């Protein structure tokens, strides 16, 4: 669906947009485990190369889950692991691999804005806008994704395929969901 080169270009575009909006500022990049591991890593290193850009980058992660091993969201987002950095008074950019029904990002926005950050923005590599439930938009979007079940570059199917360097459509004969 998206090659390594297309992903790299999208990450570069996200980094440029974030750099423009945060030039001279300290920024906390907050990756949402587990899907955002590759995006966080590549985006942080790309952002570090851009001048002018953030004066200092801090990295943190939190883990939430709404899908478990199912291909459909449970509709309930659970906090599994919190940040180590305090959020109050910081410029925070949430980093996600994908926004689909929007419940995860909506949950994160509510949770983190209550902690009084100086600013709170969100960067997603992939926007899948077809099944949105929550009225939420990411501030920075890398790629718009077709309405397919996709895997790779952090995205999994029952914990498989996260380590693919590209993003692929899962073949329907492999994809069977008893849930």
Q: How far apart are CA 130 and CA 124, in angstroms?
A: 15
- Please provide the DSSP assignment of the chain as one string: -B-HHHHHHHHHHHHHHHHHHTTTSEEEEEEEETTTHHHHHHHHHHHHH-SS--SEEEEEEEEEES-TTSSS--S--EEEE--SS--TT-EEEEEEEEESSSHHHHHHHHHHHTT--SEEEEEEEEE-GGG--S----SEEEEE--SS-EEBTTB-BTTBSTT-SSBEEPPTTT-----
Q: Which is nearer to ligand PRP, 27 or 126 (CB)?
A: 126
Quick check: 122 binds ligand PRP (CB under 6 A)? no
Active site annotation includes 60: no
Residue 35 found at the interface with ligand PRP (CB under 6 A):
yes
Residue 170 near ligand PRP by CB under 6 A = no
Q: Which of 42, 46, 60, 96 contacts ligand PRP by CB under 6 A? A: 96
Distance CA 58, CA 60 (A): 7
Residue 97 in contact with ligand PRP, rule: CB under 6 A: yes
CB-wise, 26 or 169, nearer to ligand PRP? 169
| 148 lies in the site for ligand PRP, by CB under 6 A | no
Q: Which is nearer to ligand PRP, 46 or 96 (CB)?
A: 96
Binding mask 50-89 vs ligand PRP (x if CB under 6 A, - otherwise)?
Answer: ---------------xxx-----x----------------
CA distances (Å), origin 135, targets 62, 100, 132, 144, 146: 22, 11, 7, 17, 19
How many C-beta neighbours within 10 Å does residue 39 have? 27
Only segment of 11-19, 32-40, 138-146, 164-172 that touches ligand PRP (CB under 6 A): 32-40
Q: Which of 42, 60, 100, 127 is catalytic?
A: 100
**Considering only residues 29, 101, 141, 145, which one is a binding residue for ligand PRP as defined by CB under 6 A?**
101
Q: In the complex, what is the shortest distance from the CB of residue 35 to ligand PRP, in angstroms, rounded to a whole number?
A: 3
Does 137 contact ligand PRP by CB under 6 A? Answer: no
| Contact set with ligand PRP (CB under 6 A) | 32-35, 65-67, 73, 96-105, 156
């Amino acid at each position: 669906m998206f090659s390594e080169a297309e992903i790299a270009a999208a990450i570069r575009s996200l980094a440029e947009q974030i750099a423009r909006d945060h030039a001279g500022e300290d920024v906390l990049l907050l990756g949402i485990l587990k899907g955002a591991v590759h995006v966080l890593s590549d985006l942080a290193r790309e952002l570090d190369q851009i001048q002018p850009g953030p004066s200092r980058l801090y990295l943190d992660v939190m883990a939430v889950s709404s899908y478990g091993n199912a291909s459909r969201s449970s509709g309930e987002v659970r906090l599994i692991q919190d940040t180590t950095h305090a959020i109050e008074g910081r410029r925070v950019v949430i980093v996600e691999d994908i926004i689909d029904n929007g419940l995860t990002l909506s949950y994160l926005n509510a949770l983190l804005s209550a902690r009084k950050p100086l600013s709170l923005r969100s960067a997603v590599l992939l926007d899948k806008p077809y099944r949105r439930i929550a009225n939420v938009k990411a501030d920075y979007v890398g790629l718009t994704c077709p309405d397919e079940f996709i895997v790779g570059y952090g995205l999994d199917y029952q914990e498989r395929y996260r380590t693919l360097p590209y993003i692929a459509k899962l073949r329907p004969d492999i994809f069977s969901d008893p849930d």
